[in-house]
């Protein structure tokens, strides 16, 4: 009891901690927010019902509520409750507690996985932080009002009750969403120091929802951008994937550059964006990814990161060849160097790095259009991704369109057309038959065409 009392007293004196809105929250009816319970996934409804029937509070919270009000179909659902992780775990057979900094429960409902988190208290003087102010541990449970106050933006602090079909709004988030404004809960500088990733999240949400950053939210970003260097690389990589696969990557990158956040995220990306050819290449790749995401098609992290870093590899490769290094070994050295620099900022997984290299290393092989080499290239598992990459290079002006067109026809042509398209092999001479006085036997009957000789 004494510890809790001291924590509350210290919390009142902490100026950087966000506080809940005074008075009671707004309870917004269905007629104003427009979310019918049928619009919420079955798993989310069942999870809330189970918790409520056990005597706990439970709401769909955050991004799912925000997206439903904005007319966007949510990708996943989070649930907030006053039940502890252990209590949640006891109510659902298919569930598990995960997390260190934030303990949450993954509840499996059919093929759906719900993240269920307990209401958390606002940060106070006792919250563990690093030297830069970034929160390291945060497992102090609190009230619903405190939980809403510790969330980042007002549009994310919305709670939806599927039973009553009402939205609980402590910070005027529904009004901000309708007015197309992204506002921070609490003092922006302090909130960015607690979690620098919020700067990236602000850019992503603004681009996704067509929001304008509140001046108080935008002003500190350029000054505090250096704090992103203090974020664990694995978490930064996850946030970058969300940004690049948001379906609004082109707009996100433009806003990153406007706010000075592109420096250091993808090392040397700012240099690429200052080069006309490099910028065109990157923007074409991002636009293609946005189109696939919006159409519900699959996207590949390996392919996208291969495009973002290609011009760094290309420049490194050309420099090595100019120094007299052999082309293929020079390409491998250039790939490794660029990815090693990248690994210092983003935790690209080994599998994704392998996909990136596969796409890059196949590019020189498209130049070989004679003998068996084109057929062997068609058999490569990553041929399609590498070919799409080749087309992108041609569209950006890096290559002649003739090469991409040739491969477009070759991969779908019949056998006779393919044979006619192959170029003569340079440096390979046909074998001459030895003159014989008489055809005494069939041994040595050389009928192998020159084009099949390697």
Cβ pair 36, 65 in contact under 8 A: no
Give the lowest-confidence range in 67-71, 133-137, 225-229. Answer: 133-137
pLDDT digit string (tens) for 86-104? 999 999 999 999 987 678 9
pLDDT digit string (tens) for 382-403? 999 999 999 999 999 999 999 9
Question: What's the mean pLDDT in 340-356?
Answer: 87
Cβ pair 60, 162 in contact under 8 A: yes
Q: Is the pLDDT of residue 431 over 60?
A: no
- The single residue listed with the structure tokens 């994937």 is 241
Residue 279: the pLDDT is: 83
pLDDT digit string (tens) for 203-215? 999 999 999 999 9
Residue 265: the pLDDT is: 66
Q: Are strands 181-182 and 78-81 parallel, antiparallel or unpaired?
A: unpaired
Cβ pair 182, 217 in contact under 8 A: yes
Residue 82 and residue 118: Cα distance in Å, rounded? 5
Residue 132: the pLDDT is: 56
Q: Is the pLDDT of residue 65 over 90?
A: yes
Q: What angle do CA 228, 234, 237 make, to 5 degrees?
A: 70
Q: Percent of the chain at pLDDT above 90?
A: 65
Structural domains of the chain, with CATH? 2-185 (3.30.460.10), 235-250+257-424 (1.10.3090.10)
Residue 443: the pLDDT is: 35
Q: What angle do CA 322, 328, 329 make, to 5 degrees?
A: 80
- Assign 232 a pLDDT band (cuts: 50, 70, 90): confident
pTM over 0.85: no
- Among 45-54, 266-275, 334-343, the range with the most confident prediction by mean pLDDT is 45-54
Tokens in use for 34? 């427009």
Q: Is the pLDDT of residue 275 over 60?
A: yes
Tokens in use for 159? 């709670």
Q: Is the pLDDT of residue 453 over 90?
A: no
Count of CB atoms situated within 10 Å of the CB of 444: 8
Residue 61: the pLDDT is: 97
The strand ranges marked E within 54-157 are 58-61, 78-81, 95-98, 104-109, 112-118
Where does residue 425 rank: exposed (0-12), middle (13-18), buried (19+ CB within 10 A)?
middle
Cβ pair 217, 265 in contact under 8 A: no
Q: Is the pLDDT of residue 451 over 70?
A: no
Q: Percent of the chain at pLDDT above 70?
A: 81
- Assign 137 a pLDDT band (cuts: 50, 70, 90): low
Cβ pair 206, 212 in contact under 8 A: yes
- Assign 231 a pLDDT band (cuts: 50, 70, 90): confident
Which positions are catalytic? 76, 78, 152
């Amino acid at each position: 009891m004494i510890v809790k009392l001291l924590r509350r007293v210290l919390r009142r004196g902490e100026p950087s901690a966000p506080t809940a809105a005074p008075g009671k929250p707004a309870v917004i009816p269905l007629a104003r927010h427009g979310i019918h319970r049928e619009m919420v996934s079955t798993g989310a409804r069942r999870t809330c019902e189970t918790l409520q029937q056990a005597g706990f509070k439970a709401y769909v919270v955050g991004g799912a509520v925000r997206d439903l009000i904005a007319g966007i179909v949510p990708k996943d659902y989070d649930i907030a409750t006053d039940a502890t992780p252990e209590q949640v775990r006891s109510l659902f057979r298919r569930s598990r507690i995960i997390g260190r900094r934030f303990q949450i429960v993954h509840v499996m409902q059919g093929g759906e996985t719900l993240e269920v988190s307990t209401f958390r208290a606002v940060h106070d003087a006792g919250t563990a932080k690093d030297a830069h102010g970034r929160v390291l541990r945060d497992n102090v449970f609190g009230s619903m009002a405190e939980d809403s106050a510790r969330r980042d933006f007002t549009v994310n602090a919305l709670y939806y009750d599927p039973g009553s079909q009402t939205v609980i709004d402590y910070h005027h988030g529904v009004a901000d969403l309708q007015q197309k404004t992204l506002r921070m809960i609490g003092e922006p500088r302090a909130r960015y120091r607690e979690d620098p990733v919020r700067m990236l999240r602000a850019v992503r949400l603004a681009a996704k929802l067509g929001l304008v950053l509140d001046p108080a939210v935008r002003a500190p970003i350029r000054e505090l951008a250096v704090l992103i260097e203090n974020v664990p690389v694995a978490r930064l990589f996850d946030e970058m994937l969300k940004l690049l696969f948001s379906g609004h990557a082109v707009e996100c990158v433009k806003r990153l550059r406007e706010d000075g956040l592109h420096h250091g995220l993808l090392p040397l990306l700012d240099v690429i964006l200052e080069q006309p050819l490099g910028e065109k290449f990157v923007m074409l790749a991002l636009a293609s990814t946005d189109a696939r995401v919006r159409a519900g098609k699959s996207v590949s992290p390996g392919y996208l990161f291969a495009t973002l870093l290609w011009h760094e590899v290309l420049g490194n490769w050309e420099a090595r060849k100019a120094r007299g290094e052999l082309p293929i070994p020079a390409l491998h050295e250039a790939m490794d160097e660029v990815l090693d620099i990248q690994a210092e900022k983003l935790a690209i997984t080994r599998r994704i790095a392998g996909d990136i290299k596969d796409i890059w290393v196949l590019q020189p092989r498209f130049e070989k259009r004679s003998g068996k080499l084109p057929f062997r290239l068609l058999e490569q598992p990553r041929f399609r991704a590498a070919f799409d990459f080749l087309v992108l290079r041609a569209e950006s002006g890096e290559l002649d369109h003739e090469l991409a067109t040739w491969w477009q026809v070759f991969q779908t042509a019949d056998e006779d057309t393919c044979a006619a398209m192959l170029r003569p092999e340079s440096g390979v001479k046909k074998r001459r038959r030895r003159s014989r006085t008489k055809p005494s036997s069939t041994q040595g009957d050389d009928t192998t065409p020159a084009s099949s000789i390697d």
